[in-house]
Chains A and B, each alone.
Chain A
Amino acid sequence: MAQQKEKPRVGVFVCHCGINIGGFVNVPQVVRYARTLPNVVHAEENIYTCSAEGIASIKEAIKEHDLNRVVVASCTPRTHEPLFRGACADAGLNPYLFELANIREHCSWVHMREPDKATEKAKDLVRMAVARVSLLEPQEEPEIDVMPTALVIGGGISGMTSALCLAGQGFKVYLVERKPELGGMLKKIYRLYPTGEEASRVIGDYVNAVMGHKNIVVLTSANIKDVKGYIGNFEVTVLKEGEEIKLKIGTIIVATGAIEFKPVGLYGYGRYDRVLTQVELEEILKGGKSAIDKRFFKLQRVVMIQCVGSREERPPRAYCSRICCMVAIKNAMIIKEWYPDSDVYVVYQDMQTYGKEYEEYHRRAREAGIRFVSYTKGSPPEVTALPNGRLKVVVYHALLGIRRELDCDLVVLSTPLIPYEDAKELSKMLKVPLGQDGFFFEAHVKLRPIDFATDGIYVCGTAHSPKDVGESVSQALGVASRAAIPMAVKRLRAEAITSVVDESLCSGCGTCIRICPYGAIQKDERGIAKVIEVMCKGCGTCGASCPERAISMRHFKDEQIIAQIHAILRRVAA
């Protein structure tokens, strides 16, 4: 803070919010009270401070009263802080010299039956805000350049879709795939539901487009070894066949996919070779009817069991794998088509064929004669071998209340998609979280479903959770659009609320380095902690833990918080 500390001149704007605040809190009284507070040189009330008139009034008051601090007592900073900060900035005031007192969500709306107490609380909240704002310091948001190059990790349908979309917008894309060939999970799949297209043809078109695109560099048989840096300026080391390749990257897309759960020990899987998973079945189906005949002679009866190893009581596999109902119906229909005289049973807990197309598909399967038998979690089916090599499935039919014995040629287990084991390593390198189930975890389930909390890194496809091709492609297009934003803008403003190390106090113990979840603190050549500001997200945990108390948080300094505590507890005479 190079500039001289000037005496605070605080302006307080108390909002009626129509009747939302004014109906319960005595706003004129709060304004009168605000005028008595130290450093306050102006206070006024507004019907709506956030309206055009309200904003104009703030700007005028800043000029007229030479305000250098502004407090608005209205609603939550989570929604309205940017607006009021903008008003301050327009009037030439640093936007960080602003504080909101939340007298609506935290006061008038929750104390409607106690207007007197609500008014007293509103005064307290204004006093806290004035105490805090008086100690706030101007902050600058550092600008950073963004490298217009994307890294896509994973060469399945999601990764290829993202890569093509970004490359089509003119960005350079590195596509890293651990396997020798592109294609991912779909290479194992026979046909796609509900259209019945052959997966190999779909994937073939994508691979050709990706390989032929001048903006895409494909690195197969390659793994991510190290990721350093931050949005716009990642330094990524890729290991390809023993050789290290260093890349400078602006944004990163995680499209690493998922694998099928192998249910060893469940329903005879691993013991009987007539018990397969759905993906294993698909791999045989790809060989056509002759491949089936060769392996099982002729299919007279097939039993598919749903929810094998998913929807369990506890994580990591407590989730519904979302695609298995449709996969089972699709494969059941293929078998029925090839062997019209066969019986195909789908033994299920709940058929979840969500949406209109999928429900229609389900209906068609029933019409085609696929038999659906429900079981309950408490009494799952049992699979045993018969002397002739075929299998017997005993199902307790939950609706009819009877036990049914089904001799069959093949049992297919619908198992969930599960995350790759090494997703953990990648998550550590990228400093992004995994959920309890081990899948990559988004910033917000509804509002930021494909972003990570870490800027410049995005997630799509089954790396995030089980989903089908259509959903994976939608997300892949989504992340391409998200990743394109900073690369198109080219310059970004980074977070101003970061931690700062007081070098004279730092003993170089390294506690903060271990604590920081973003790797934003490093030791410099003297062994003293140094914050890489653009990587710091401003949580403040380092400062609250620093053994030497050498770290302070911009905009949330100890003395600013202590001022609030004192404002609450050491009552200033009204």
Chain B
Amino acid sequence: MTFEPTIIAFLCNWCSYAGADLAGVSRFSYPTSIRAIRVMCSGRVDPALVLEAFINGADGVFVMGCHLGDCHYLIGNFYAQRKIKMLKKLIALTGLEPERLRLEWVSASEGARFAELVKDFTNQMKALGPSPVAGEKPDPNILENLLAAKAAVEDFRLRVLVGREGEMVDEGNVYGEKVSQEEFDEIMDEAIAAEYIRNKMYIMLKKVPQSVKELSKRLNIDPRNVLRHIVILRQRGMVAMAKVEGTTPLWAALEVGGR
């Protein structure tokens, strides 16, 4: 049997959901791969929801909103755009193909475009094959990476950067100081990489206490960097020294939150 991808589509109520309705009214046929979840605005699509879908084995996630400038809520789709931009970079670190996440604008009058996009994305996913975490035997590595990515987007730092990108780049702070887009992207890339690796370390330490050296080897990053992350995780109250073996401290994850 040929592979039939499962695609979750987050459709904004005002444009793309209406566009999908129009595709129906116009009888534009498209593949049955897509399952739509209606949200009021594409800006509502929390990055954690997208990762939740991938963790549970979605082959693709499609986010659709109103065309830029046409958002029913004026600017929600700009926030969607920033979130997806961040997410694609983050997903690229997990080993899952970032092309599995796609953002498109579909207006209420673009029924044909909706049908075309679903066809196109379905074909793209067919060519890519099933998600490595779909089905009975998900790739444990990528699954763990995705869990780390989800924890990263649930945390303060990436969320505040995404939420304030427009303010930092376009409007400037209270002193009128602006950050250029390149500078911002650099800060963002650094934050994505750091938060991802910290959360990955946290998940690893949750399973079994480990030394900096062990973590360094398994993550294939410089032990000095691992130590820096450990220091920050300790400041955040996420890890603590579990015991010392010889002269080597072993670190363990603490239970945090309660959310």
Binding site for B on A (CB under 8 A): 76-78, 102, 104-107, 109-114, 117-118, 120-121, 124-125, 128, 431, 433, 435-436, 453, 497, 509, 511-512, 514-515, 517-518, 537-541, 543-549, 553, 556, 558, 561-562, 564-566, 568-570
Contact for A78 among B18, B39, B43, B47, CB less than 8 A: B18
Total number of B residues with any Cβ neighbor in A under 8 Å: 53
* Residue of B with least CB distance to A509: B160
What is the CA–CA distance of A114 and B8 in the complex, to the nearest angstrom?
20
What is the CA–CA distance of A497 and B13 in the complex, to the nearest angstrom?
13
Tell me, yes or no, whether B144 is within 8 Å of chain A by CB.
no
What is the CA–CA distance of A568 and B8 in the complex, to the nearest angstrom?
8
Do residues A540 and B163 form an inter-chain contact, with CB atoms below 8 A?
Answer: no
What is the CA–CA distance of A400 and B117 in the complex, to the nearest angstrom?
47
A2 nearest CB across to chain B (Å): 23
Do residues A106 and B20 form an inter-chain contact, with CB atoms below 8 A?
Answer: yes
What is the CA–CA distance of A110 and B49 in the complex, to the nearest angstrom?
27
In the complex, chain B residues whose CB is within 8 Å of the CB of A105: 20-21, 23-25
Tell me, yes or no, whether B104 is within 8 Å of chain A by CB.
no
Can you sample 21 A-B contacts with CB below 8 Å? Answer: A78-B17, A78-B18, A106-B20, A110-B27, A111-B32, A121-B32, A497-B40, A515-B79, A517-B76, A539-B43, A540-B40, A541-B43, A544-B46, A544-B49, A546-B163, A547-B159, A547-B163, A556-B39, A561-B39, A569-B8, A569-B57
Tell me, yes or no, whether B52 is within 8 Å of chain A by CB.
yes
Binding site for A on B (CB under 8 A): 6, 8, 13, 17-18, 20-21, 23-25, 27-30, 32, 35-41, 43-49, 52-53, 56-58, 69, 72-76, 79, 83, 115, 154, 156-157, 159-160, 162-164, 167, 259
Q: Given the interface contacts A511-B164, A547-B156, does A541 sit within 8 Å of B24 by beta carbon?
A: no
* Residue of A with least CB distance to B24: A105
In the complex, chain B residues whose CB is within 8 Å of the CB of A117: 32
What is the CA–CA distance of A547 and B39 in the complex, to the nearest angstrom?
20
What is the CA–CA distance of A497 and B73 in the complex, to the nearest angstrom?
14
Q: Which of A121, A431, A565 has the most chain B CB within a 10 Å cutoff? A: A565
In the complex, chain B residues whose CB is within 8 Å of the CB of A435: 69
What is the CA–CA distance of A558 and B10 in the complex, to the nearest angstrom?
13
Contact for B164 among A76, A77, A514, A570, CB less than 8 A: A514
Q: Given the interface contacts A125-B35, A547-B163, A553-B44, does A539 sit within 8 Å of B21 by beta carbon?
A: no
Contact for B69 among A436, A509, A556, A558, CB less than 8 A: A436
Apart from A453-B74, A544-B43, what are 15 other A-B pairs with CB-CB below 8 Å? Answer: A78-B13, A105-B24, A106-B24, A109-B25, A111-B32, A118-B32, A124-B35, A128-B35, A431-B74, A537-B73, A544-B47, A556-B44, A561-B39, A565-B8, A566-B56
